Amino acid sequence: MSNAAKAAQQEIFGPVVTAIPFEDEAHAIALANATNFGLAGAVWTADVGRAHRMADAVRAGTFWINSYKAIHVSSPFGGSLSSGFGRSSRTDALMEYTSAKSVWLDSAPKPRIAFGYVS
């Protein structure tokens, strides 16, 4: 199969397997990143250095090493690029639905400061 194939370039949800041959680690990373989607990725290797290089280089919201779809609710999950923005699970998801706001109330009979910064 070629990396230009529809199955390699679109985000398909379902029991689909694609196999694309690659020359070396750099070529595998280039193939993985040659798409507009970045939901998840994985690598199987006994080389810990390679595992971390791949995890760092592949554009994906979630990346597994020697496993796939192992998810815990305390870990943020979500995609990158056209696979979506934001994260579900953990406090990262909560922040998607909130925005910070400061509200100050001076309840003294005579305000200590009318305008400006309080030192």
Per-residue tokens: 107: 């309840």
Percent of the chain with pLDDT over 90: 24
- Whole-angstrom CA distances from 9 to 66, 76, 101 are 23, 25, 41
Smallest CA-to-CA distance from 27 within 3, 5, 10, 8 is with: 3
**Tokens representing 30?**
């280039």
* pLDDT reported for residue 84: 67
Q: Give the model's pLDDT for residue 60.
A: 87
Question: What is the model's pLDDT at position 18?
Answer: 81
Q: Is the pLDDT of residue 118 over 90?
A: no
pLDDT at 38: 76
Query: What would the mean pLDDT of 27-54 be, rounded to a whole number?
Result: 90
Q: What tokens appear for 33 in the block?
A: 């990143």
CA-to-CA dists, residue 23 to 26, 46, 77, 80, 108, angstroms: 8, 18, 30, 26, 72
Report d(CA 21, CA 70) in Å as an integer: 25
Residues forming beta bridges with residue 81, ordered by sequence position: 37
Q: How far apart are CA 18 and CA 32, in angstroms?
A: 12
